[in-house]
C-alpha cells in the first residue's frame, strides 16, 4: 500500500526520542521503584477554582461546538494578557488551539513548506524537529553554547542562514537548558531577522517559571511586531497539561491566513476548557509562584549534590522545570549514561541526544518530584558517575 511522504519524514521523530521514559514506565508497571525525572509534568494540581470553573461550565451546557478563532471569553482574556505587554493587541491577533504543540504545528504549516528552512537553537525541545519536518521544511540547527549560558547568539544565527531560511524558532525560557533570552538578545536576534526577512516564532510556555529575572519576548518589541508570533498555553503556568489549552498571538494578517488552516484541522476547542482558560489568564493564581520556588530550590539542590568537585557538571537553569548536566567526564554519552542509570540505579532521566547534536553529552533532569526523592536520585547519579570514572581510571592503569 502507498503512504504519504509525511509518514517517512516523521518515522524516526516520534516516540523514539522518549525511549528511556517508555522503558522506565514499563519497569514501573512490573513493580520496579523507578524515580522518574523524564517528562515536564508539574507535580502540583491545578488551582481548585479552575477545576470548579471547568466543571461548572460543563454542567451549564458548555459542551457544544466552538468557533475557529476561540471562545469570545478566552480571546478577550488573552487580549488583556498581551495588552499588558503591547498596547495594540486586539482579538484579531489571537487564535486558540488545544495546547502549545498544536499551535506550533499549525503555525509552521502556515509559514513553511517543502524546501524551506527553519533555524532552531541546538539543544532544542524534542518535538521541534518533527513539527518542522511535517511541513516538508528542514531544520537548521544553530549551536547554543554553554559559555553563553545556552542563549542564542546573533552571530551564530547569522552564520547559519541560507537562501532557504524562512523562520527562526525560539524558546524562552528554554527547554531543556532553562536559558532565558534578554531584551538585548532579542534585539540583536531581531536585527538579523529583519535583515533577512525571517519570521520569529517564540515558544513561551515557561513564561511564568523564570527564576528572578525579567521575561522578554520578540512579540513585545514594536520593531518586530510584523514578524513575531508567540505560542503558549496553561499547561505549565497553571499545572494543567492534560487540559490541552493553548494559543498563538501574532500579526493580524498572519492570524487571518492561519485561521482557515486551524479550522480545517480542528474547528475550535472545548468551550468548557476555554472558560477555565479565560479564568486562568485573567486572574492571579499562586500556582506558578509555588512552582517557581520549588524548581529554583530543587535545581540548586541538584547543583550542590552533583557539582561539588565531582565528574558531573550541572548548569543552573534560569527558568523552566529542568536542569541539564554534562556527563562527558564519565566517558559515557548522555544516552549511555541515561540507559545505565535507569537499569543500574532505577532513576530515569532524558538523554541529551533527544534534544539535538549539541546535547549529546548531556542529560536532562526534571525537577517535578519532591525534594527528598530528587536528592536520592541525584545521589545515585553521583554514585554512577564516580563508579564510571573509577572504572575508566582502572582501565588506564591496566593499559
> pLDDT tens across 296-314, in order?
999 999 999 998 778 999 9
Whole-number pLDDT of residue 399: 56
With 90 as the cut, is the pLDDT of residue 36 above it? yes
List every span in the chain annotated with CATH 3.90.1150.10.
5-45+287-398
CA distance 91 to 132: 27
List every span in the chain annotated with CATH 3.40.640.10.
48-282
Q: How confident is the model at residue 255 (pLDDT cuts 50, 70, 90)?
A: very high
Whole-number pLDDT of residue 397: 59
**Residue 37 bridge partners (DSSP):** 349
Whole-number pLDDT of residue 396: 58
DSSP codes of every residue in 318-387: SBSSEEEEE-GGGT--HHHHHHHHHHHH-EEEEEGGGG-GGGTTEEEEE--S-HHHHHHHHHHHHHHHHH
Q: Residue 320: which region, alpha, beta or left (left: phi > 0; alpha: psi -120 to 50)?
A: left
Per-residue pLDDT reduced to its tens digit, 70-99: 999 999 999 999 999 999 999 999 999 999
Cα separations (Å) of 335 from 189, 238, 331, 381?
32, 31, 12, 14
Weakest-pLDDT range from 15-24, 324-333, 390-399: 390-399
Q: What share of the chain is helix, strand, coil (3-state, %, to 5)?
A: 50, 15, 35
Q: In degrees to the nearest 10, what's the CA dihedral of 179, 182, 187, 193?
A: 10
Average pLDDT, the chain: 95
CA distance 87 to 67: 26
Contacts of 390 (CB under 8 A, 6+ apart): none
Please say whether the beta carbons of 35 and 381 come within 8 A: no
Q: Enter the pTM of the model.
A: 0.95
With 60 as the cut, is the pLDDT of residue 268 above it? yes
Whole-number pLDDT of residue 136: 97
Contacts of 377 (CB under 8 A, 6+ apart): 35, 37, 347, 365, 369
Whole-number pLDDT of residue 16: 77
Contacts of 321 (CB under 8 A, 6+ apart): 40, 42, 206, 209, 236, 291, 295, 366, 367, 368
CATH 3.90.1150.10, domain 5-45+287-398, yes or no? yes
Weakest-pLDDT range from 160-169, 218-227, 303-312: 303-312
Q: How confident is the model at residue 13 (pLDDT cuts 50, 70, 90)?
A: confident
Cα separations (Å) of 50 from 80, 126, 207, 287, 295?
18, 29, 19, 11, 22
Q: How confident is the model at residue 183 (pLDDT cuts 50, 70, 90)?
A: very high
Strand, helix or coil for residue 155: helix
Q: How confident is the model at residue 17 (pLDDT cuts 50, 70, 90)?
A: confident
Per-residue pLDDT reduced to its tens digit, 110-143: 999 999 999 999 999 999 999 999 999 999 999 9
Q: How confident is the model at residue 267 (pLDDT cuts 50, 70, 90)?
A: confident
Whole-number pLDDT of residue 266: 86
Topology at the third CATH level for domain 48-282:
3.40.640
Q: What angle do CA 32, 35, 39 make, to 5 degrees?
A: 120
CA distance 142 to 358: 9
With 80 as the cut, is the pLDDT of residue 20 above it? yes
Contacts of 326 (CB under 8 A, 6+ apart): 146, 312, 313, 314, 315, 361, 362
**Residue showing cell 537553569:** 317
Please say whether the beta carbons of 105 and 129 come within 8 A: no
Please say whether the beta carbons of 302 and 323 come within 8 A: yes
- The arithmetic mean of pLDDT across residues 324-345, rounded, is 97
Whole-number pLDDT of residue 195: 98
Contacts of 296 (CB under 8 A, 6+ apart): 211, 212
Contacts of 137 (CB under 8 A, 6+ apart): 108, 112, 113, 114, 115, 116, 117, 118, 166
CA distance 106 to 97: 9
Which grid coordinates belong to 387?
563508579
Residue 347's CB is within 10 A of a number of other CB atoms, namely: 25
- The arithmetic mean of pLDDT across residues 2-27, rounded, is 89
Amino acid at each position: 500500500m502507498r503512504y504519504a511522504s509525511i509518514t517517512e519524514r516523521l518515522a524516526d521523530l516520534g516516540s523514539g526520542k522518549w525511549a528511556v521514559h517508555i522503558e522506565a514506565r514499563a519497569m514501573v508497571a512490573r513493580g520496579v521503584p523507578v524515580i522518574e525525572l523524564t517528562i515536564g509534568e508539574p507535580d502540583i494540581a491545578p488551582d481548585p477554582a479552575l477545576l470548579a470553573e471547568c466543571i461548572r461550565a460543563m454542567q451549564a451546557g458548555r459542551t457544544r461546538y466552538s468557533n475557529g478563532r476561540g471562545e469570545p471569553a478566552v480571546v478577550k482574556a488573552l487580549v488583556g494578557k498581551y495588552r499588558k505587554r503591547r498596547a495594540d493587541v486586539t482579538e484579531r491577533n489571537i487564535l486558540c488551539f488545544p495546547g502549545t504543540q498544536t499551535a506550533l504545528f499549525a503555525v509552521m504549516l502556515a509559514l513553511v513548506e517543502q524546501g524551506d528552512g527553519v533555524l532552531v537553537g541546538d539543544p532544542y525541545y524534542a518535538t521541534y524537529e518533527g513539527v518542522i519536518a511535517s511541513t516538508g521544511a528542514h531544520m537548521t540547527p544553530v549551536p547554543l553554547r554553554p559559555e553563553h549560558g545556552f542563549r542564542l547568539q546573533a552571530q551564530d544565527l547569522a552564520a547559519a542562514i541560507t537562501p532557504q531560511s524562512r523562520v527562526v524558532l525560539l524558546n524562552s525560557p528554554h527547554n531543556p537548558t532553562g536559558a532565558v533570552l534578554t531584551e538585548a538578545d532579542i534585539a540583536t536576534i531581531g536585527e538579523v531577522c529583519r535583515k533577512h526577512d525571517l519570521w520569529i516564532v517564540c515558544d513561551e510556555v515557561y513564561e511564568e517559571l523564570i527564576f528572578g529575572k525579567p521575561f522578554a519576548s520578540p512579540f513585545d518589541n514594536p520593531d518586530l511586531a510584523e514578524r513575531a508570533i508567540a505560542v503558549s498555553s496553561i499547561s505549565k503556568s497553571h499545572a494543567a497539561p492534560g487540559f490541552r489549552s493553548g494559543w498563538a498571538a501574532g500579526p493580524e494578517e498572519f492570524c487571518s491566513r492561519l485561521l482557515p488552516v486551524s479550522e480545517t484541522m480542528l474547528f475550535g476547542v472545548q468551550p468548557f476548557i476555554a472558560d477555565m482558560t479565560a479564568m486562568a489568564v485573567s486572574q492571579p493564581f499562586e500556582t506558578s509562584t509555588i512552582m517557581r520556588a520549588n524548581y529554583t530550590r530543587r535545581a540548586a539542590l541538584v547543583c550542590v549534590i552533583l557539582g561539588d568537585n565531582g565528574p558531573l557538571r550541572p548548569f543552573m537553569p534560569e527558568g523552566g522545570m529542568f536542569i541539564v548536566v554534562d556527563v562527558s567526564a564519565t566517558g559515557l554519552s548522555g544516552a549511555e549514561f541515561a540507559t545505565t542509570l535507569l537499569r543500574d540505579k532505577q532513576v530515569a532521566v532524558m538523554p541529551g541526544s533527544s534534544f539535538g547534536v549539541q546535547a549529546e553529552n548531556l542529560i536532562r533532569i526534571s525537577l517535578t518530584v519532591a525534594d527528598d526523592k530528587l536528592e536520592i536520585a541525584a545521589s545515585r547519579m553521583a554514585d554512577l558517575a564516580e563508579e564510571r570514572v573509577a572504572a575508566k581510571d582502572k582501565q588506564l592503569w591496566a593499559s
